[in-house]
Structures are given as C-alpha cells and as structure tokens.
C-alpha cells in the first residue's frame, strides 16, 4: 500500500479544521452520521473558542486509479503562539497544504508558515479555500501568493471546504504531488515521538512517526533519550479514534501503548528503537521551545497548592512548550512561576487548568524574559522582576526584540505605523502584496507586543490587520525595576520591569488604582511607586477619622488640644505596628488594569 503524509498549514480561521472534516468525509473514514463540525478538535476549549490548540493526526484510506493509498493527515493550529506544535508536525510529513482564504488573502501567519514548511523541505500544495463566498476574489489572491511566496499560479487548487467543492481534485493533487516517505521497513527500528497523551486507564499514549523498520505487538522497545525499555502492549492508528493493528512499518503514523505509568518517561522529540547493540541512530529531535512570557499562578485558596501542582504536571507533559517552577509571594502565598510561548498560550493554559482540574486561580501580571550582564561580566536570564539585582551591579540590561510582520489594508498603514512607533518600534520594510494590501515589518520590544498590540492593530484596521512575530535577539535598553510600596513595605507581586521613560506614567497609574482599592484604616496609608531608592509617585489613603472633641461643648481650648494630641499619638503608634491587608480584589484589579493605563 502506498503512503502519503501531509499537514494543513494556514493563518488562523482560514478553514483548516473544516477542510480536515471534508477529507475525512470524502474518503469514507467517518460516516455522515458520526460527522460533526471540527471533528479533530476534541478539547472542549477548542470547540468553545473555535480554534485548534493541539495538533491531531488521522489516517485515511483512499483508492486512486485502482491503487490503494494510506493518507496520513496532521491537523495543525494556526495561531502564532502554537508555532511549536506546527514545527513538530512539519517534521513528520513530506507535504503541506498551504491554505489561503479566498477573501482575506495572504496573511502574516500564512507567510511565516510557508517559509517554515520550505525550511523543512516539504512539497507545498497551494490551496485557495472558501471560493463559494459571494465576495471571493480568487484571482487576486492567486496573484498575492505569487508575489509574496513565489508560487506558480498553475499549481493552485481551488476548493470550498464548507460546501465540499473541489475536494476530489485536492485529493488527487495530494496523491500525485506529495512524495512517498523514504524509509526501509527491514532496517533497525527508528521512530520519532511527536506527541503524547495521558489516559487514566491505559497510561501514557505515545504518538509516533515511523522512519525506518517495523514495530509489532509484544515487542520490546527502547526510548533512546530516556534510556527506558518497555513492552508494546497495543499499537494502532487514529481513524480518527484509536484503532489497534498488529504492526506499524516505515512511513506510517500511529500510536504505541506500553503501560507507562508516568508521562515524565515520554519525551517529545525522543527516538524509539530496539534495545541492544543493533539500535538505530537517535533522530535529531526538536529544537527546545523558547518560552517568551512568564507569569505567576497561585491558587486563590492556599489549600489547593498540591492540586495545582498535580494539574500543572499533567498539562506540562501533554504540552512540552509550557514549563513551571514553585515560588512564594508575601502577598499571594505559595504558587508557581510558569513560562509560555505567548499571551494566548498563557490564557489557554489558565482556562484548561480551571475547566479540566476545577481550580480557582490568581494570576500575576505577565512579563517577558530579560538578560542582564553584571559588572563582573556574567550573563543571566531574568524571568521575574524580583530577580533584578541592585542597579549598581548591572552593566547592561537587555530586552528581547521581535520582528513583527503586519499585513494591513493600504488605507490603514498610517494608523499601524503610529501604533508601532509609540511602542518604540523601528521600521524594517514595507511591501505591497496587492494594490489594496501591504505588509509592514517592524522591530519592536517583545514587552510592548505581548500586552495589547494585536488588539490595537485589529481595532485600528477594523479587523482586517494581522500580526505575526518571531524573536530576533536581545538588545541593550534603558530598563528599570519599578516597585510598589504600601505603608513602606514592598509588594513583590506588583513589581514590574519597564522602560525608564515610561516608569513615571505607569507608577502613577498603579498608585492611583491601589488608592481606590485599599480599604481605609485607622491610620493613613502611603502607596508609593519607586525605582531603586527614588520614589516616583505617591498616593495617600486617608485615615478614618473619629471626632474625639464631640463631647467637649464650650469650656477650655486646652482640653480639646489634649484630646487631639492623644489621638495623634495613638495613630502614630498604630502606623508603626499596624499592618495593611491588601485584599485579593485589590490585587486582581491592579493586575488586570495596571498595564492598560
């Protein structure tokens, strides 16, 4: 049987999951009765938000001109934060369908994914989807693909995933253009682990792409990186549910179940081979994902700390691009410092924790990874503001810079350029994809991108602008750590790293917000923002007042003075020994709006 392995790559919302549904239906893999929209998006959160988060694989059978074919599809996410999932899928395939919306045309993520596929030497089949739309402009989009990606207009396949138009032509193109996998079924076993999942009844389920050799039920296998040996209890393929078979050979995609109790024993990017001296060479694996955004996650109820740790362990194994380590905060108690690929990734992880593990979370303000070179020449990474050393010990403070490619309608170029320049961006290029659309490139500090740049671009371009970014390196900048002091005590959870020129504005905004949220005490409370030992903003929460002279009517003024003096001394003593409790509500309001002011 001939084998073809391919994936679908596209910008978010261009119809990848719908096209996967049509291919499953067309090949008869799924009957019409079993069919439902976004069939491969099996996480509740994916269906709820209408986006793909995890890459999924499925095997289809198709007979073309009398020859039976096994066609393996890997459905991938489209959002920039899940780029790591896409890169893992690309290394398991020989071909890729580059899907473009017939109305929206080439977007920022389309360009990024196309270049990513070219780097993996994949055969690209350009596909224009949604041609049945009333306002489809397939010819103009073909020209855009030719000018921005150098694609031959004759190679473009036109289809509509929703209406099922052109699916047969697309299937023929996959079979005729995607090369068959190279691999020797008689060579020593060599398979790539590209994903894993945990089943409460079966243990760890390992997703593999067979490179060479054959694996059979009951056989002993070895994970080369982990060094562990296991027996294969069950193996099979996804159609799209798990379906067991007796063996998997070179070129196939499937799963292995080996009664592995802990997912920590399965490393994504590991090589599966046979134990002993005739084991195959380990495969190159994957580049480690670089976490760009860090934030603290704390259980709102301190008792749930161990539950949160178990939930994070389960999630980190299934999603290797996410990491965590324990930390403590004076204000929030025990929790974890977590690293994510981007802001959407952070939001998704938080929602998965709350829905799948039923834990109520408090999240601190997100921040990016910085580099510091100290006066002794040592370089280290800073994941949280509390780790920033004394300003006298810092020789150079570096921030991550990203190259942003923004595709916008031509009439919105001025708005977007102003947005980028306000965020200290440097223009790197501007090219026209068509008379009405342009792609602008800017180098912008990542800290300025992650908060709200995407939202601002969407609103400034009436929803037509799209953003894609990639890290290009670290550059020196004039950065400082801004601390928030309440009653003279530093509140560690509210410290942030920001540009020196921006510190005054942000400090005033946070101090003002805290003043309105902190409850009044019997003594006045000073809320200050400080950079090092210099206070840059201050607000005062006034003390509750009691009229101690109310009972004095007429009489000697010295009696009133004595009472007021006594009250003043009592307030002074209270201030010295009194502590200010900052409520959870006050924290949440500052963390959610401190960045927006």
18 annotated to bind ligand = yes
15 annotated to bind ligand = yes
456 annotated to bind ligand = no
Are 506 and 482 in contact by the 8 Å Cβ rule? The answer is: yes
Which residues face 443 on adjacent strands? 403, 426
Phi-psi region of 28 (alpha: psi -120 to 50; beta: other; left: phi over 0): left
Burial class, 246, CB count within 10 angstroms (exposed 0-12 / middle 13-18 / buried 19+): exposed
546 annotated to bind ligand = no
Peptide bond into 240 cis (omega under 30): yes
The rounded distance, in Å, linking the Cα atoms of 267 and 209 is 14
The rounded distance, in Å, linking the Cα atoms of 366 and 493 is 11
214 annotated to bind ligand = no
Strand spans (E) along 341-422:
361-363, 367-368, 370-374, 379-382, 394-409
Percent helix / strand / coil, the chain, rounded to 5: 30, 35, 35
Q: What is the DSSP letter of 268?
A: T
The rounded distance, in Å, linking the Cα atoms of 157 and 128 is 6
Phi, psi of 454 (to 5 degrees): -60, -45
267 annotated to bind ligand = no
27 annotated to bind ligand = no
How far, in Å, are 70, 479, 492 from residue 531 at the CA level?
63, 10, 13
Name the helix (H) or strand (E) containing 176: helix 167-177
130 annotated to bind ligand = yes
Name residues whose C-beta falls within 8 Å of residue 368's C-beta, 6 or more positions apart in sequence. 292, 293, 294, 399, 400, 446, 447, 450
Are 30 and 39 in contact by the 8 Å Cβ rule? The answer is: yes
Phi, psi of 385 (to 5 degrees): -60, -30
The rounded distance, in Å, linking the Cα atoms of 110 and 540 is 52
> For the stretch 164-174, what's the b/e string if a residue is b when 16 or more beta carbons lie within 10 angstroms of its beta carbon?
ebbbeebbebb
The rounded distance, in Å, linking the Cα atoms of 350 and 187 is 44
Nearest to 81 by CA among 272, 321, 270: 321
17 annotated to bind ligand = yes
User: Binding-site residues for GTP, please?
Assistant: 13-18, 129-132
User: Binding-site residues, please?
Assistant: 13-18, 129-132
């Amino acid at each position: 049987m001939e084998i073809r392995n391919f994936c679908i790559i596209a910008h978010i919302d261009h119809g990848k999951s719908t096209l996967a549904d049509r291919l499953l239906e067309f090949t008869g893999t799924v009957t019409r009765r079993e069919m439902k929209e976004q069939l491969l998006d099996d996480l509740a959160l994916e269906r709820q938000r209408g986006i793909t988060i995890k890459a999924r694989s499925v095997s289809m059978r198709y007979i073309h001109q009398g020859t039976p074919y096994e066609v393996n599809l890997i459905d991938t996410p489209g959002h920039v934060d899940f780029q790591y999932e896409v890169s893992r899928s690309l290394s398991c395939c020989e071909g890729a369908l580059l899907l473009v919306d017939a109305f929206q045309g080439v977007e920022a993520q389309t360009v990024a994914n196309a270049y990513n596929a070219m780097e993996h030497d994949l055969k690209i089949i350009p596909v224009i989807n949604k041609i049945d739309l009333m306002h489809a402009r397939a010819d103009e989009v073909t020209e855009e693909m030719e000018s921005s990606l150098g694609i031959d207009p004759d190679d473009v396949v036109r289809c509509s995933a929703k209406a099922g138009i052109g699916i047969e032509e697309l299937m023929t193109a996959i079979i005729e253009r995607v090369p068959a996998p190279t691999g020797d079924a008689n060579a020593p076993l060599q398979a790539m682990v590209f994903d894993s999942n945990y089943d409460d009844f079966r243990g760890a389920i390992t997703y593999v792409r067979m490179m060479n050799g054959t694996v059979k039920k009951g056989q002993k296998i070895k994970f080369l990186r982990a060094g562990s040996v296991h027996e294969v209890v069950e193996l099979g393929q996804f159609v799209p549910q798990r379906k067991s078979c007796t063996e998997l050979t070179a070129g196939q995609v499937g799963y292995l179940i080996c009664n592995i109790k802990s997912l920590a024993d399965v490393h994504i990017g590991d090589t599966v081979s046979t134990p002993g001296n005739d084991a195959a060479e380990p495969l190159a694996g994957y580049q480690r994902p670089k976490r760009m955004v860090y934030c603290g996650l704390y259980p709102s109820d301190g008792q749930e700390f161990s539950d949160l740790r178990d939930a994070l362990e389960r999630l980190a194994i299934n999603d290797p691009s996410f990491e965590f380590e324990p930390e403590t905060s004076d204000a929030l108690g025990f929790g974890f410092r977590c690293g994510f690929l981007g802001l959407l990734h952070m939001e998704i992880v938080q929602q998965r924790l709350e829905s799948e593990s039923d834990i109520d979370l408090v999240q601190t303000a997100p921040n990016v990874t910085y580099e510091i070179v100290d006066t002794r020449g040592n370089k280290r990474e800073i994941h949280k503001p509390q780790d920033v050393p004394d300003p006298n010990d810092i020789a150079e403070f570096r921030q991550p810079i990203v190259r942003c490619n923004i595709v916008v309608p031509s009439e919105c170029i001025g708005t977007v350029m102003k947005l980028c320049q306000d965020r200290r961006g440097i223009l790197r290029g501007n090219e026209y994809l068509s008379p009405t659309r342009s792609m602008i490139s800017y180098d912008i500090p990542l800290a300025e991108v992650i908060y709200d740049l995407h939202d601002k671009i969407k609103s400034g371009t009436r929803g037509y602008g799209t953003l894609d970014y990639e890290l290009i390196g670290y550059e020196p900048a004039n950065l400082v750590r801004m601390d928030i002091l309440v009653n003279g005590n530093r509140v560690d959870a509210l410290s942030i790293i920001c540009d020196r020129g921006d510190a005054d504005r942000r400090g005033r905004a946070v101090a003002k917000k805290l003043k309105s949220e902190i409850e009044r005490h019997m003594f006045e409370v000073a809320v200050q923002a400080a950079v090092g030992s210099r206070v840059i903003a201050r607000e005062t929460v006034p003390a509750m007042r009691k009229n101690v002279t109310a009972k004095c009517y007429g009489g000697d003024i010295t009696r009133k003075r004595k009472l007021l003096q006594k009250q003043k001394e009592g307030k002074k003593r209270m201030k010295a020994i009194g502590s200010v409790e900052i409520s959870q509500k006050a924290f949440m309001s500052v963390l959610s709006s401190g960045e927006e002011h």
